[in-house]
Amino acid sequence: MRGATVAAAALAGLSAFVLFAAPAPNPAAPQSAALKTFDVLPAEKPAPLPAPQPESVPTKPTRPVRLRESTASLPRRTEAPSVPLTAPHPPLPDAAPPLDIRLPAAPLPPPPPPPPREQADKSARDAYARSLWQRIAARRPSGVHIPGTAELTFSLSASGALERVSVTGASGNAALDRLALRTVRRAAPFPAPPAALGREPTFTIAFRFD
Amino acid sequence: MTIFTTPRLRARSLCLAGTAFVSIFATPAFAQRATALPDIDVASDALPPATPPGARRITRDDLDRQDMGSSDTADILARLPGVSAFGAGGVSSLPVVRGLDNGRVGILIDGIKVDDACPNNMNPPLSYTDPQTVSAITVVTGVSPVSLGGDTIGGNILVETAQPKFAQSGRTLVTGNVSTFYRSNGDGFGGAASVTAATDRVSLTYDGSYTQSDNYEGGGNDGIVRSTEYAKTDHALTLAAQTGIGLFRVQGGIQRAPREGFPNQRMDMTDNRSWFLNGRWQNWFAWGDVDLTVHYRDTDHRMNFLADKGGTANGGMPMNTEVHAAGYTLKLSLPVSARDTIRVGSELHHQWLDDYWPPVGGSMMMGPNTFVNVNAAHRDRLGTYAEWEANWADGLTSTIGIRNDQVWMNTGDVQPYGTGMMQMADAMAAAAFNAADHARHDSNWSGSALLHYRALDGVALDLGYAHKVRSPNIYERYAWGRGTMASNMIGWFGDGNGYVGNLNLAPERADTISGAVTFIGSGGTPWSLKIAPWFTHVADYIDVVKLGDVRNMMGMPTGFVQLQFANREAHFYGLDVSGDVALWQGTDGAAARMSFGASWLHGQNLADDDPLYHQMPFNASVALDYANAGWDAHAEIQAVADKTRVDPTRVEPKTDGYTLVNLGTGYTWRGIRLGVEVANLFDTAYAPPLGGQSLGDLKATGILRPVPGRGRSFNLSLSAKF
């Protein structure tokens, strides 16, 4: 009975805390002092998430991989990298847990055929982006049952080190923003980006927690 | 029926998703732009943290198509390769994973162990769940990491009830579902509701269900199977809040089961009342994750005879069990580097159990005193673990952990009904028990090592080794009655035999090696194939030795035996094979798929070189699933071989092989689904190999037979989501 008493007391305290501590709004994701924020507009915003819908069909709605490209201009970097990561990058991990990407509902229209040089650059960039994405996705968290979308912007050095990362689209929940930041940081360092990506390539990525 | 998610579909999605990058960089002036990578979906229905990648995940969508056929969660799980179940009451089957039964498997409900609270294990953990309201179930059949729990030597079954749902920022959310079903065989029916009202900060969820059934009919000419009726209801409220310091959850609930017949036990459950209160705090920091749970459960359990076994008009034989359980689990997950994650945890579980049988007026045997079967026993366990997970290069992941569980047990003195001549065996046993020291302390060390390796595109290898230790439960150590009737009341094996505990039992120590190779084919006809061999050796395996034959009033053997728990030695090995093939894929999720699974195992008692008890014979299933524009359909064939390897010590019956066919279809329209199913289409007569002896029928007819399986049943379900 002693254990029961202790548990009951702990539960009572926890219940009281929930009732009195909530809600504690998180109007903006707290930025770590060590992090530098890009002075850029966020990349093209993803389409607003639909309001929660009942799962009215036996199969989950497909969520196509959306391809987006920012039109925001990048500023010149004026500060030292805030996340210096000097360790040589390990080979690309291929140990990703099963990825739950949904296929596009309809095939994308084929782009116009680029010139041969551009074709080569494009292939290199595509391959790099794929490895980047896989590397991040392999480290995504699990066991989170809070909805929200946290969008990050990060840039890489010529060696693939993570130069900067910041929240450019707060989820409204500090824990989700921290998880997203942590995931990108853990995925670094990345492979050296191809020359076709230019200097200090910058990426945006959104973590959609459902 | 078997619409379980498979690794193939996810992996294939990965392969094809790669092609979606093709047009990311079409703009020449790339260097001046920020490149938007595709979103990372962090799905809440993904495998729980620390779960091996080969684990099976059964989602709510899967259960939606199966809960019309069974209200028994363990029965649904038994369709998975490597999983089977001891037959018991209609909602209380005892799951077996690769030959190791309920008590050896780590079963957690929302991360919490639910203690057995009955000498016949009539209210096992999964009986507190209802397939109508379960959110998801994860099953680990192979080696599992020590962070998933201690005091077990088998796999894991992790059940999640309703997870909190929150509205999108600035909105409110009202969502839920209601469902009902009917089964023609046994006139079973039930219903469930789950309703959530939430803001983006606070969420309140109600889950409730009710289910009942009369006795079912066996297939063919097997007739009514007595003592198979049941009724129960579960209700729970969950309050969750997102705060600046984490996610808080408080969940409380009750269960009332006013009756549950047990066809293979001498007793029935005549009442079970349980309530619980759990609290949980989770937060995710830059340095790691924290997950703290505190829990309490109180159970009052009553056994006696339902009508098929004579009822209680003359008093019957009341048996009461009370259990209180409380504790905490604390888990920390620390991502210490890009490669490494350290998980550490602590867990305290306190179980208090009182088991007493009130005297029956006018009975020579059951009076004049209360039979004290277990007097305020406690079983306290403090578990501590550390685990290291590393994501190595080239597709290799390793997880290595070590764990210690300290187990303290003790109990008070006991007493028989009386000291008359007919009670002498129990009187002597009680005196001997009371003269002995009951306190026991075990220090159990466990360790696990798992490797996951994606060798090539489409080929994954899993390899695991674990040394795990489980201490005896309260009844294995402290059941003391030596009289025929007293020992007949002990045991969860459904065989009519009498069981006696053993104060000298040592913890059982298992060494398991399991592996799996998974092939995933893509292209025009995606497919997958998983081949999983395994081997387990258990030192001090808690089996039985025979004390003698059970004799009737005339001194003649009844065919049943009295057994005592004893440390033996055993090994198990086997092979599970599963896979699927996409037969057709249309647009908008339309698809046809064939899936299959097969399991074979061999269990041997090395101490007496006999087959181990209650081991499933070879079994296999093939299922076709189809879905298109709201329609879904399934056809399933289940085949089970003859059970010829039986344990002579326990007089285990042999059973014949059988094949069952199930058909079903459903239509979904605007969130409303109507399902129709015919289970056991050909009304085949069969006896499940682990179903036990039909003691309910024996009492009424004098004929002993294995418990017949359920005959043909037309099942209907209707559900709506909003």
Q: Which residues of B fall within a CB distance of 8 Å from A206? A: 39-40
The residues facing B244 across adjacent strands are none
Report the pLDDT averaged over residues B247-259: 97
Q: How near does any CA of chain A get to the CA of B57, in Å?
A: 12
In the three-class reduction of DSSP (H, G, I as helix; E, B as strand; rest coil), residue A120 is classed as helix
Strands B340-357 and B319-335: antiparallel
Report the pLDDT averaged over residues B423-432: 97
Least confident of A41-55, B217-231, B246-260, B697-711: A41-55
CB burial of A156-184 (b: ≥16 within 10 Å; e: otherwise) equals bbeebbbbbbbbbbbbbbbbbbbbbbbbb
Across the interface, do B168 and A52 touch by the CB < 8 Å criterion?
yes
CA separation, residue B128 to residues B91, B111, B133, B296, B447 (Å): 9, 14, 11, 14, 30
Amino acid at A194: P
Across the interface, do B35 and A70 touch by the CB < 8 Å criterion?
yes
Across the interface, do A201 and B36 touch by the CB < 8 Å criterion?
no
At residue A29, the pLDDT reads: 35
- The residues near B178 (Cβ < 8 Å, ≥ 6 apart) are B191, B192, B193, B194, B719, B720
Summarised one tens digit per residue, pLDDT across range B64-108 is: 878 888 999 999 999 999 999 999 999 999 999 999 998 999 999
Which candidate, B321, B326, B269, places its Cα nearest to that of B299?
Answer: B321
Give the start-to-end residue ranges of the domains of chain B. 7-403+419-508+518-721
Local confidence band at B325 (pLDDT 50, 70, 90 cut-offs): very high
Q: How near does any CA of chain A get to the CA of B391, in Å?
A: 7
Please give the residue of chain B at the shortest CA–CA distance from A175: B284
Across the interface, do B34 and A208 touch by the CB < 8 Å criterion?
no
Chain B, 637 to 676: residues with Cβ < 8 Å from chain A are: 666, 668, 670-673
For testing the chain B interface, which of A5, A142, A202 should be mutated: the one with the most B CBs within 10 Å?
A142
Summarised one tens digit per residue, pLDDT across range B623-674 is: 999 999 899 999 999 999 999 999 999 999 999 999 999 999 999 999 999 9
Of B17, B393, B722, the CB nearest to A54: B722
Across the interface, do A21 and B248 touch by the CB < 8 Å criterion?
yes
Q: Which residue matches tokens 């094996």?
A: B493
At residue A86, the pLDDT reads: 26
Cα separation, B495 vs B500, in Å, equals: 14
Report the pLDDT averaged over residues B293-306: 97
B180 in contact with chain A, both atoms CB, cutoff 8 A: no
Q: Which residues of B fall within a CB distance of 8 Å from A131? A: none
Which candidate, A20, A76, A67, places its Cα nearest to that of A200?
Answer: A76
Summarised one tens digit per residue, pLDDT across range B197-223 is: 999 899 999 999 999 999 999 999 999
Which candidate, A115, A153, A125, A72, places its Cα nearest to that of B23?
Answer: A125
At residue B587, the pLDDT reads: 85
Strands A202-209 and B40-42: parallel
Backbone phi, then psi, for A18, in 5-degree steps? -60, -45
Cα separation, A138 vs B452, in Å, equals: 14
Is A38 inside any structural domain?
no
B60, two tokens: 């709510």
Chain B, 320 to 359: residues with Cβ < 8 Å from chain A are: 324, 326-328, 335, 337-339, 348, 350, 352
Chain A, 11 to 50: residues with Cβ < 8 Å from chain B are: 11, 14-15, 17-19, 21-26, 32, 40, 43-44, 46, 49
Q: Measured in Å, how far apart are chain A's first and last C-alpha atoms?
A: 40
What is the number of CB-based contacts under 8 A between chain A and chain B?
351
At residue B495, the pLDDT reads: 94
At residue B17, the pLDDT reads: 40
Q: How near does any CA of chain B get to the CA of A22, in Å?
A: 5
At residue A109, the pLDDT reads: 52
B244 in contact with chain A, both atoms CB, cutoff 8 A: yes
Is A164 inside any structural domain?
yes
Summarised one tens digit per residue, pLDDT across range B579-617 is: 999 999 888 889 999 999 999 999 999 999 999 999 999
Across the interface, do A118 and B28 touch by the CB < 8 Å criterion?
yes
Across the interface, do B326 and A91 touch by the CB < 8 Å criterion?
no
Q: Which residues of B fall within a CB distance of 8 Å from A93? A: 391-395
Q: How near does any CA of chain B get to the CA of A116, in Å?
A: 13
Report the pLDDT averaged over residues B181-191: 97
Cα separation, B309 vs B315, in Å, equals: 12
Please give the residue of chain B at the shortest CA–CA distance from A31: B286
Is A72 inside any structural domain?
no
DSSP A29-84: PPPPTT----SSPPSSPPPPPPPP----SSSPPP-BPPPEEEEEEPPPP-S--SS-
Is A20 inside any structural domain?
no
The residues facing B512 across adjacent strands are B466, B536
Chain B, 147 to 166: residues with Cβ < 8 Å from chain A are: 163-166
Summarised one tens digit per residue, pLDDT across range B111-148 is: 999 998 999 999 999 999 999 999 999 999 999 999 99
Across the interface, do B627 and A59 touch by the CB < 8 Å criterion?
yes
Q: Domain limits at A173?
A: 120-210
- The residues near B263 (Cβ < 8 Å, ≥ 6 apart) are B87, B225, B226, B227, B228, B692, B694, B695, B696, B697, B707
The residues facing A167 across adjacent strands are A152
- How many structural domains are present in chain A? 1
- DSSP class of residue B496? -
**Residue ranges of chain A whose pLDDT lies below 70:** 1-115
Strands B340-357 and B371-392: antiparallel
B15 in contact with chain A, both atoms CB, cutoff 8 A: no
Summarised one tens digit per residue, pLDDT across range B9-25 is: 333 333 334 434 433 44
At residue B528, the pLDDT reads: 95
Please give the residue of chain A at the shortest CA–CA distance from B63: A58
A148, two tokens: 């929200």
Of A46, A92, A102, the CB nearest to B13: A102
At residue B284, the pLDDT reads: 94
Residue B642 near residue B657, CB atoms below 8 Å: yes
Q: How near does any CA of chain B get to the CA of A81, in Å?
A: 17
Q: Which residues of B fall within a CB distance of 8 Å from A100? A: 10, 13, 41, 43, 46
The residue ranking higher by pLDDT, B530 or A28, is B530
Backbone phi, then psi, for A116, in 5-degree steps? -55, -45
Q: Give the torsion through C-alpha atoms of B391, B393, B394, B399, to 10 deg.
A: -30
At residue A176, the pLDDT reads: 93
At residue A98, the pLDDT reads: 36
Q: Which residues of A fall within a CB distance of 8 Å from B338? A: 90, 186-189
Residue B415 near residue B372, CB atoms below 8 Å: yes
CATH 2.40.170.20 correct for B7-403+419-508+518-721: yes
Report the pLDDT averaged over residues B488-514: 97
Chain A, 126 to 165: residues with Cβ < 8 Å from chain B are: 126, 129-130, 132-134, 136-149, 153
Cα separation, A75 vs A84, in Å, equals: 19
A59 in contact with chain B, both atoms CB, cutoff 8 A: yes
- The residues near B437 (Cβ < 8 Å, ≥ 6 apart) are none
- The residues near B310 (Cβ < 8 Å, ≥ 6 apart) are B316, B699
The residue ranking higher by pLDDT, B430 or B164, is B430
Is A163 inside any structural domain?
yes
B439 in contact with chain A, both atoms CB, cutoff 8 A: no
Across the interface, do B338 and A189 touch by the CB < 8 Å criterion?
yes
Strands B188-198 and B672-679: unpaired
Of B17, B23, B25, the CB nearest to A99: B17
Q: Which residues of B fall within a CB distance of 8 Å from A136? A: 37, 40
CATH number of domain containing A199 = 3.30.1150.10
Q: How near does any CA of chain B get to the CA of A85, in Å?
A: 11
Which candidate, B646, B642, B676, B683, places its Cα nearest to that of B661?
Answer: B683
Average pLDDT, chain B: 92
- The residues near B159 (Cβ < 8 Å, ≥ 6 apart) are B73, B107, B108, B109, B110, B125, B126, B129, B134, B136, B137
B553 in contact with chain A, both atoms CB, cutoff 8 A: no
At residue B589, the pLDDT reads: 81
Cα separation, A94 vs B392, in Å, equals: 9
A113 in contact with chain B, both atoms CB, cutoff 8 A: no
The residue ranking higher by pLDDT, A4 or B166, is B166
Q: Which residues of A fall within a CB distance of 8 Å from B380? A: 3
Q: How near does any CA of chain B get to the CA of A192, in Å?
A: 15
Which candidate, B173, B172, B189, places its Cα nearest to that of B181?
Answer: B189
Q: How near does any CA of chain B get to the CA of A55, in Å?
A: 7
- DSSP class of residue B480? -
Share of chain B above pLDDT 90, in %: 83
- The residues near B471 (Cβ < 8 Å, ≥ 6 apart) are B151, B379, B381, B405, B407, B409, B440, B442, B444, B507
Please give the residue of chain A at the shortest CA–CA distance from B631: A58
At residue A133, the pLDDT reads: 92
At residue B172, the pLDDT reads: 94
Q: How near does any CA of chain A get to the CA of B8, in Å?
A: 9
Which candidate, B682, B685, B677, B679, places its Cα nearest to that of B709?
Answer: B685
- The dihedral region occupied by B220, where left means phi > 0, alpha psi between -120 and 50, and beta the remainder, is left
A83 in contact with chain B, both atoms CB, cutoff 8 A: no
Q: Which residues of A fall within a CB distance of 8 Å from B526? A: none
Is A179 inside any structural domain?
yes
For testing the chain B interface, which of A19, A63, A65 should be mutated: the one with the most B CBs within 10 Å?
A65
Q: Which residues of A fall within a CB distance of 8 Å from B61? A: 55, 58-60
